[in-house]
Structure formats: structure tokens, C-alpha cells
Amino acid sequence: MDHLLILLIASAVIAFAFWPRCRKQCAAATKPHPSFWKTLLTTHSLNQENDMIDINPGTTLARLSITYKVLFTGFLLVIGVGLMMAGMQIMLTHGKADGKPGVSINDIVYSYYGNRSGSKLESMLNGSMKAMAPDEERFALIQWARDEAPAKDWPTKIEPIMKQYCVSCHNAEATIPDFTKLANVQKVAEVDQGASIGTLTRVSHIHLFGISFIFLFVGWIFGMSEYKLKWKLILISTPFAFLIIDVMSWWLTKYIPVFAWFTMIGGFGYSLASTVMIFTALMQMWLPREMWWPKWEQDETK
Ligand code: HEC
């Protein structure tokens, strides 16, 4: 919580340092300052009024030939299902990190920073593996992990517990760690340092390369919709910004747990932006104009 407070104060200071200065100078210069949007839109678009709906004649989604409507719809539907699957996968992997269902800040912290207060073996035995063995055996395992998992106890104390309660699932055939071998049990008995640099680099580059292509095509299709130019630009650019925030936050969380909040915000931000883009595109391709939401004024859409 302390960290969060520091973070908030730091953001406030940065916002204060950059924002009001221009306003003050411009007010002094009597001339009204053209808004950021107005400047951007009048220099980069044919639209002279920043409130106009952005329409590229001939290439709007509604006027697209059926061939491309079907092509784009197929793509958008598969991407939509893919996003939901990604969400489910997050629930199933990160969601369980703290042993409680649902994704919480602790899950993200445990996944990247690790649970420095104990080993993975311990946190799992207090979490989703709690029901697997009676308390007495669980405590024996936790005690062994806290004693830095000495090999001498393996044949007498630990292996029998593993054989009786754990190896029915944790064996060589399974995709989960094989607990018939001491080395594998010792690995989960080490204090959990979170994601390794190796894992983070691998996941980061796959994520950045892969997902940016999804956003490129979703944004490309959405770019042909009839939408207020300002909002169109915001919707098209936010997923990329949030993607960077998301990936950066994993690295920061590895060292400073409070950045887990950025992972949450990043993921939420780009899911929301892509959902809006996908729904808008599908709506404008297939529904009559009267049913569109938000409703555009008739004269604006001409
Ligand atoms: C009914 C099958 C089953 C039994 C029995 C079982 N586990 Fe698991 N265990 C799993 C599954 C499935 C996972 C992976 C999914 C998850 O993380 O919840 C897992 C994951 C783990 C992990 C995390 C491994 C990692 O590196 O991510 C640990 C530690 C663990 N189990 C310990 C134990 C211990 C100790 C016992 C015996 C007391 C045990 N489990 C018994 C099914 C089982």
C-alpha cells in the first residue's frame, strides 16, 4: 500500500509538471490555444472539423463487398473467441497462483515477483493441493521445505508421503512436475523467486510480436468504420500502448510487486478497446444503419 501511495504521488507530480504549463503560457498570450486534437486532426486529415465522422469514401465497412465482409467477420469472430480463451487461460494459470480462484493482485505478484515468504511447495500445499494430503503429512512436507529440503530425509520421510498422496498425479507420464524424483521435489521446495528472466524474455517477445499483429488487423478493419475521428484514433492506438504497459509491468513486478496493478490495467485496457472495435466493426458490416450504436447524426454520415 505504501508503494501504491508513492506511485500515485509520483504520477500526480509528473502530470502537474507537464500539463498546466502550456495552458498558463497560452492564456497569457491572449490568443486562444488550439486544442491538441484540433491541431492534430487539421494537419493530418482531410477532415477540417475535428467533430466530423471519419469516412473514407468507398471503403466504409457498410459499403464493403460481401466477400470482404465475410472475410473480416471470420477473422473478427476467431479473434474474439481467442481473446476469451486468453482470459480463461489467465484465470486458470495465474488465477491459481495464490490458491484462491479468480485473478487478484496477489496472483500477479506471485507469478512475477514470486512468493518470497515460502516455497512453491508450501504455497501449493496451502492452496490448491491442500486437499491432497492430511494435515500431518502436509506439515511434514512444509517443514522439510523450510529446512531447505535435505536429501537425507527423502527415503525415510518424504518419499513415502509422495508415493502415497502425490505420485498418482505427479508422475513421469503427467505434464505436471514428476515427484517420484527427489530433484523435482527439491525444485518446488526452493523459495519461489517468481518468473525467471529467461521466461520473461521468451513470453515478452512472443506476446509483443504476436499480439501486435492482432491489433494491427483489428485496427485496420475498425479503421474503415464510420466513427468520430478522435475516438477512432484513441481506440486504434490504446491497445498498442496498453500492450507495452502490460509487458513492461511484468518486468517491473518481478522487482517491485506494486507494478502488478499495471498488469491488471494493461490487460483490462486492451481487452476493452479491442472488444469495442470488434463489436463496432461487426455491427456496421451487418446491421442496418438505424440499429448502429452510438447513433450518428444523419448529416454527419453523408
Ligand atoms: C489429483 C491429482 C493431484 C494430486 C493427488 C496432487 N497434485 Fe499437485 N498438482 C496437480 C495438478 C493438476 C497441478 C497443476 C495445476 C495447478 O497448478 O493447480 C499440480 C501442481 C502442483 C504443484 C505446482 C507445480 C509447479 O511447478 O507448478 C505442486 C508443488 C504440487 N502440485 C504439489 C503436490 C503435492 C505435494 C501433492 C501430494 C500431497 C500433490 N501435489 C498431489 C494435481 C495433483
Greater confidence, 296 or 230?
A: 230
Say how many Å lie between the CA of residue 143 and the centre of ligand 1.
18
Write out residues with Cβ below 6 Å of ligand 1. Answer: 96, 120-121, 124-125, 128-129, 132-133, 141, 165-166, 168-170, 176-177, 188
Instruction: Give, using CA atoms, the residue closest to atom 12 of ligand 1.
Output: 176
Asked if the model's pLDDT at residue 28 lies above 80, the reply is: no
Asked if the model's pLDDT at residue 219 lies above 80, the reply is: yes
Average of per-residue pLDDT values in the chain? 85
- Do 130 and 185 lie in one domain? The reply is yes
- Do 141 and 158 lie in one domain? The reply is yes
- Do 160 and 278 lie in one domain? The reply is no
Last-in-domain residue among 168, 189, 210: 189
Nearest alpha carbon to residue 75 among 292, 231, 282, 236 = 282
Last-in-domain residue among 171, 189, 207: 189
- Do 178 and 212 lie in one domain? The reply is no
- Do 61 and 185 lie in one domain? The reply is no
Q: How far apart, in whole angstroms, are the C-alpha atoms of residue 133 and residue 165?
A: 6
User: For the whole model, what pTM was predicted?
Assistant: 0.62
pLDDT 10s digits, 68-110:
999 999 999 999 999 999 888 888 877 777 767 778 888 888 8
Last-in-domain residue among 139, 164, 189: 189
Range from 13-27, 77-91, 114-128, 263-277 carrying the lowest mean pLDDT: 13-27
Say how many Å lie between the CA of residue 274 and the centre of ligand 1.
35
Q: Which of 93, 107, 120, 124 to mutate to test the pocket of ligand 1 (most atoms within 8 A of CB)?
A: 124
Range from 31-40, 76-85, 154-163, 279-288 carrying the lowest mean pLDDT: 31-40
- Do 207 and 62 lie in one domain? The reply is yes
Range from 21-25, 79-83, 148-152, 232-236 carrying the lowest mean pLDDT: 21-25
Q: Which domain holds residue 240?
A: 53-97+195-301
Q: What is the pLDDT of residue 302?
A: 40
Q: What is the pLDDT of residue 109?
A: 86
Instruction: Give, using CA atoms, the residue closest to atom 3 of ligand 1.
Output: 169
Say how many Å lie between the CA of residue 129 and the centre of ligand 1.
6
Say how many Å lie between the CA of residue 167 and the centre of ligand 1.
9
Q: What is the pLDDT of residue 31?
A: 62
- Do 146 and 183 lie in one domain? The reply is yes
Q: How far apart, in whole angstroms, are the C-alpha atoms of residue 247 and residue 205?
A: 9
- Ligand 1 atom closest to the Cα of residue 188 is 29
In a domain, 20, yes or no: no
- Do 123 and 208 lie in one domain? The reply is no
Q: How many structural domains is the chain composed of? A: 2
- Do 141 and 178 lie in one domain? The reply is yes
- Do 91 and 146 lie in one domain? The reply is no
- Do 211 and 290 lie in one domain? The reply is yes
Q: Which of 166, 181, 190 to mutate to test the pocket of ligand 1 (most atoms within 8 A of CB)?
A: 166
Q: How far apart, in whole angstroms, are the C-alpha atoms of residue 134 and residue 240?
A: 48
Asked if the model's pLDDT at residue 124 lies above 50, the reply is: yes
- Do 200 and 297 lie in one domain? The reply is yes
